[in-house]
Amino acid sequence: MAYMELTDAEMFICRTLGVMRRSEAMHKVVDQQVGKDDTWAIDIDGMVAEYCAAKRLNLCPDLTVSVRNGGADLIGKTGKTIDVKSTRHKHGRLLATIKKAGEPCDIYVLVIVDDKGGDVVGWASKDELFQVANRTDLGHGVGYALTQDQLHKF
């Protein structure tokens, strides 16, 4: 794991962009969240995770707030698309919905976030994640899941 501690200013940017993204998405898209966490907190945590992954990979984070439907959170230096997944659960898994398999990114990254930044735990390719053997139902419908020990370390 690579813990990325964000400065107070970076956390402020992430919180602001997370709130702005949620505000922009309200009444424009159908909410497809997995889990029962607060939607505002999910968007803030998602932005923190994206920022931590970008910082770890030495990439520029996407600071836009316009509504996005799927797609990449980051673009790697080789042009590969990257989808960043966040959780606050210490032993959380890399999760993706069944729908994601239809238009997958090249790489999926798991970040465990907290109030100061996040652990960039590891990554999996789309071919590794979207296998029938990885389908599971964690109480919110069937999706794809990999445990942290199944991920490549950075």
Q: H/E/C letters for each residue in the chain? A: CEEEECCHHHHHHHHHHHHHHHHHHCCCCCCCCCCCCCHHHHHHHHHHHHHHHHHHHCCCCCCCCCCCCCCCCEECCCCCEEEEEEECCCCCCEEEEHHHHHCCCCEEEEEEEECCEEEEEEEEEHHHHCCHHHEEECCCCEEEEECHHHCECC
Residue range 53-100, pLDDT digits in tens = 999 999 999 999 887 766 799 999 999 999 999 999 999 999 999 999
* The pLDDT of residue 30: 58
More confidently predicted of 91 and 37 = 91
When pLDDT is averaged across residues 26-47 and rounded to a whole number, the result is 74
Report residue 15 as tokens: 């919180």
* Residue found under tokens 């799927």: 70
pLDDT band at 12 (very low <50, low <70, confident <90, very high): very high
When pLDDT is averaged across residues 40-56 and rounded to a whole number, the result is 95
Distance of CA 57 to the CA centre of its chain: 14
* The pLDDT of residue 57: 97
- Among 18-22, 48-52, 98-102, name the most confident range: 48-52
* The pLDDT of residue 112: 98
Q: Which residues contact residue 40 at a Cβ distance below 8 angstroms, ignoring those fewer than 6 apart?
A: 18, 19, 22
Type of residue at 61: P
Nearest C-alpha neighbor of 107 from the set 46, 151, 66:
151
Residue range 104-135, pLDDT digits in tens = 999 999 999 999 999 999 999 999 999 999 99
| For residue 152, pLDDT beyond 80 | yes
Type of residue at 4: M
